[in-house]
Amino acid sequence: MNFPVTRMRRLRRTEAMRSLVRETHLHPGALIYPLFICPGEGVRKPISSMPNVFNLSLDEALKEAEKCAELGIGALLLFGLPAEKDEQATGAWADDGIVQNALREFKKNRKLDSLVMMADVCLCEYTSHGHCGVVARDGDHYDIENDASVTLLAKTAASLAKAGADIVAPSDMMDGRVAAMRDALDEGGFEQTPILSYASKFSSAFYGPFREAADSAPQFGDRRSYQMDGANLREAMREIELDIAEGADMLLMKPAMPYLDVMHEARQRFDLPIGAYQVSGEYSMLHAAFERGWLEPERTMMESLTSIRRAGADFIVTYFAKDAAKILG
């Protein structure tokens, strides 16, 4: 009889044994919860494709933020839904912009001291056309003007830092934005504010539900002239190299699960802190299966987050942050 000398099952027999040899761990401090802040008072508007996610007015957002702090979540990522939109995304960089106002309130609340306040920097929620930059039109043709957009994005980053953002997170994918933001931050006296760059952001169908949540669907065309083609891994590495050279302090990759190979490759090559954004569509897709009883919610959620960590993410932006933090205790 030929018995196996190595029996992998020896270390799998009990939960205590499995826990001892577990290679990847999740903790609430490495989870980041996105908040969508809208005008008004007492507003808690559900997002139909994202169960348990809401557009929140500032008073409601404060309550939500306090809950996150109690759960030990590491950071919030703030998005704004302005009352008015225009071609120049004025609401993105206005002193009294929706996220700027929220940041000032959040920063006054001592219960939120344990939360890092991250502000997403993009123009798409603030432009009337829903693109992430300034649009130049010529008859039927249009172009998203890179350098004019970068100027507004840099202004937005400085304005958010001034309002109290601990980290600014550009998600627009214009070329040169990190360098321009670093300049604008330094000139404004915010040399200590880190930039978390969405370095490799793919043009993805998985952002669909977010566009309802942030009311930011492009009114014409798509984002393929600035977000990356999902087929390209080497290009993603170049994007990251450029952002590092321009002064990014941390990197964010998105989406998460369909792009774990990109995360893994980035982790091998770069030593900066790297995070993943488990995006709206990933969340909606799992919830749709939970609702039908096709997947077991708790285990599937934790497995999805663990896989992202295992691929190399130091931190994860996820709409599951509160649910996962509750389980992690």
Q: Which residues are annotated as a binding site for Mg(2+)?
A: 239
Q: What is the CA radius of gyration of the chain?
A: 20
Give 176's DSSP letter: T
Strand partners, 54: 46
Q: Does 124 bind ligand PBG (CB under 6 A)?
A: yes
Examine residue 32 and tell whether it contacts ligand PBG (CB under 6 A): no
Q: Strand 134-138 vs strand 315-318: parallel, antiparallel, or unpaired?
A: unpaired
| Residue 210 binding ligand PBG, by CB under 6 A | yes
The maximal CA–CA distance of the chain, rounded, in angstroms, is: 81
Helix (H) or strand (E) holding 305: helix 297-311
Q: How many residues contact ligand PBG, by CB under 6 A?
A: 12
Annotated binding residues for 5-aminolevulinate: 211, 223, 280, 319
> Choosing from 45, 201, 322, 326, which is the catalytic residue?
201
Active site residue 111: no
Q: Which listed residue (33, 202, 207, 315) binds ligand PBG by CB under 6 A?
A: 207
168 sits near ligand PBG (criterion: CB under 6 A): no
Residue nearer to ligand PBG on the CB measure, 159 or 280: 280
From 116-124, 160-168, 239-247, 262-270, give the range in contact with ligand PBG by CB under 6 A: 116-124
- Least separation in angstroms between residue 28's CB and ligand PBG is 20
By CB under 6 A, residue 252 contacts ligand PBG? no
Question: Does position 92 bind ligand PBG by CB under 6 A?
Answer: no
Question: Binding of ligand PBG at residue 276 (CB under 6 A)?
Answer: no
Q: Does 93 bind ligand PBG (CB under 6 A)?
A: no
By the rule CB under 6 A, 171 interacts with ligand PBG: yes
Q: Show Cβ contacts of residue 76 under 8 Å, excluding neighbours closer than 6 positions.
A: 32, 33, 34, 35, 65, 68, 106, 115, 116, 117, 118
The annotated binding site for Zn(2+) is made up of 122, 124, 132
Residue owning tokens 């900066």:
272
C-beta of 224 vs 238, nearer to ligand PBG: 224
Residue 132 binding ligand PBG, by CB under 6 A: yes
**Strand, helix or coil at 234?**
helix
CA dist 93 to 122, 151, 176, Å?
10, 11, 18
Neighbours of 94 (CB within 10 A): 18
What six digits make up the tokens of 224? 């393929």
Taking residue 151's Cβ as centre, other Cβ atoms within 10 Å add up to 16
| Annotation says 108 is catalytic | no
User: What are the residues binding ligand PBG (CB under 6 A)?
Assistant: 120, 122, 124, 132, 171-172, 207, 210-211, 223, 279-280
The residues carrying an active-site annotation are 201, 254
